[in-house]
Structure 1
Amino acid sequence: MPLMPGAEPYRHDGGATGVLLCHGFTGSPQSLRPWAEYLAGRGLTVSLPLLPGHGTRWQDMRPTGWPDWYAEVDREFRALSKRCDQVFVFGLSMGGTLALRLAQKHGAAVRGLVLVNPSVKADSWQLKAVPLVRHLVPSVPGIVRDIAREGGTEVGYERAPLDAVHSLRGLWQVVRRGLPQVTQPLLLLRSRVDHVVHPSNGELLLSRVSSTDVAEVVLERSYHVATLDHDAELVFEKSHAFVRRLSAPAEEGGARG
């Protein structure tokens, strides 16, 4: 099945500091491509993979689940770790959830986390009803394009397969249980108005992680897909400053091998 235009993965070989970017549920690398290119333009090694079942048609996502999505970012993280002296993990929405799971599994090998509107729990009654409804209805309207900027577009599915939503709920449970295992420096960027992920997700996350180096930035002018919205440049600048602060020695050392 051919990829949707703009859904292609993106990689850039730069210096000794690497960044893995994880896109969101039913989305694609397009939602993070400007962020990835911004980081690449500042000398970082960047990997932005396409998650299994994404970027083609929603029916292709039905047989996939969170272990498949996690396996892809885990492979990319391991590849970056061989190439770079240190690796940061960034994520949007469910991409932030996957980033937290990587932090739980890889410990100090994850140098730091930058999370934009990450999700860790079900808030609406519709989400809580998914375990039953998925046996009756194969899909529901999608969640892409929550963008305040006029003309803002996101490449993703118009429908969300409920079997995949059910698997996402399983990922949330696993990640919530492991939040105390997260000790890495953490930058949380959350939108004041988000029609997809309730602000209580960020509050729960910050209350349970064990990280001591934590910063929170509230995005006043953007909705859920802040990386394509009015505050995109702020997201890019804050995340790059975060990486620079924590990785200056590695950057001075240059790329490996």
Structure 2
Amino acid sequence: MEQRVMEGAEPFRFEGNDVGVLVSHGFTGTTQSVRPLGEALADEGFTVAGPRLAGHGTSMEDHARSTARDWIRSIQEDLDWLSGRTSGVFFAGLSMGGMFSLYFGATRPDLIRGIIPINACVFLNNPDLARLVFDPEAPPRVPGVGSDIKAEGVEELVYPEVPVPPLESFMAAMRTTDDLLQAITAPVLVIQSREDHVVPPENGPYILDRLGSRDKELLRLDNSYHVATLDNDKDLIAERTVRFIREHAG
């Protein structure tokens, strides 16, 4: 049965020039968290796609049935759409979306011209969450991690709880991506909030150090928490992402 998509969680596509950009949201999140970045990139003339990852933006029951293979398939569909319209694709992503930007940067070097992971995760340092992964007595859901935003009055459209079944797939994808970092050769702009209550901020320097890329840079955000694409530094993120793409699209 077709799942109803939450208002604001719809995927987006903007046709523009021959430079493609994929913008991905994170685990339990929706396209609402990255739509402002996608629109800012479209305003600069780029061709932009923001996929709704399988199981996201519908229901927690739907999310509980989804896996990393499904999320990868969602991204691949939009990469195919972009590659058919552009001469090269850049990949920006928030949290798990940032993790997938690194994953695809390693596995699709033929297509991905540059990578912009934003508060990406390749480790969580969260034993309580890790204990749930193979626990047969684990609850079906645990408290959510959404709306970690410093700016007043800004809310993320996100599930209120985390379904436990997809955690195994999510953890496996993180560890896989960690092992792939050294295989990445594309330019990378790592964007990391100094204060993040969902993903340890140490991910940023760790990712930077492990990358195989020669052209790599770490941008630290001083005024945003985890959902930085909706937070006080959202304009800075858009500005630096546009500059990075222009510098490497030629």
- TM-score bracket, normalised by the shorter chain, equals over 0.9
Identity of matched residues, %: 38
Counterpart of 1:164?
A: 166
1:74 and 2:83 correspond: no
Structure 1 unmatched runs, 5+: 250-257
Q: Is the 8 A contact 1:74 1:102 kept in 2?
A: no
Cross-structure match for 1:14 = 16
Residue type of the alignment partner of 1:11: R
Q: Which has the higher helix share?
A: 1
Shift in Å, 1:63: 1.1
Q: How much does 1:173 deviate?
A: 1.3
Query: Residue 200 of structure 1 aligns with which residue?
Result: 202
Instruction: Give 1:81-230 correspondences, 5 Å limit.
Output: 81-133=83-135, 135-230=137-232
Residue-by-residue CA offset, 1:178-218 (whole Å, 9 max, x unaligned): 11111110001110100000022222211211001111111
Task: Report 1:8-47 matches (<5 A).
Answer: 8-47=10-49
| Paired position in structure 2 for 1:255 | none
Q: Deviations over 1:5-32 (max 9, x none)?
A: 1001110000000100111000000000
Q: Aligned-pair distance for 1:234?
A: 0.3
Cα distance between partner residues in 2 of 1:190 and 1:133: 32
3-state SS of 1:95 partner? helix
CA–CA separation in structure 2 for the residues paired with 1:215 and 1:208: 12
State the distance in 2 between where 1:123 and 1:3 align: 32
Contact 1:97 1:118 in 2 (8 A): yes
In 2, are the aligned partners of 1:134 and 1:162 still within 8 Å (CA)? no
Q: Secondary structure at the match of 1:163?
A: coil
Could you list the structure 1 runs, at least 4 aligned residues long, displaced by more than 6 angstroms after superposition: none
Report the Cα distance in structure 2 between the residues aligned to 1:17 and 1:187, rounded to whole angstroms.
17
State the 1:134 CA deviation: 5.9
Distance 1:36 1:131 in 2: 33
Partner of 2:239: 237
Amino acid at match of 2:242: H
Gap change, CA 1:28 and 1:138, over 3 Å in 2: same
**CA deviation vs aligned residue, 1:43-87 (integer Å, no higher than 9, x gap):** 000000100000011111111111110111122112211110111
CA contact (8 A) 1:144 1:154 kept: yes
- On the 8 A contact 1:122/1:169 being kept in 2, the answer is no
Q: What is the letter of the counterpart of residue 89 of structure 1?
A: F
| Distance verdict in 2 for CA 1:213–1:58, change over 3 Å | same
Amino acid at match of 1:42: E
What TM-score results when the alignment is normalised by the length of structure 2?
0.96
Cα root mean square deviation, aligned: 1.1
Match of 1:83, SS state, is: coil
Letter in 2 for 1:85: S
**In structure 2, the residue corresponding to 1:154 is in which secondary structure?**
coil
Secondary structure of the residue aligned to 1:173 is helix
CA distance in 2, matches of 1:122, 1:219: 19
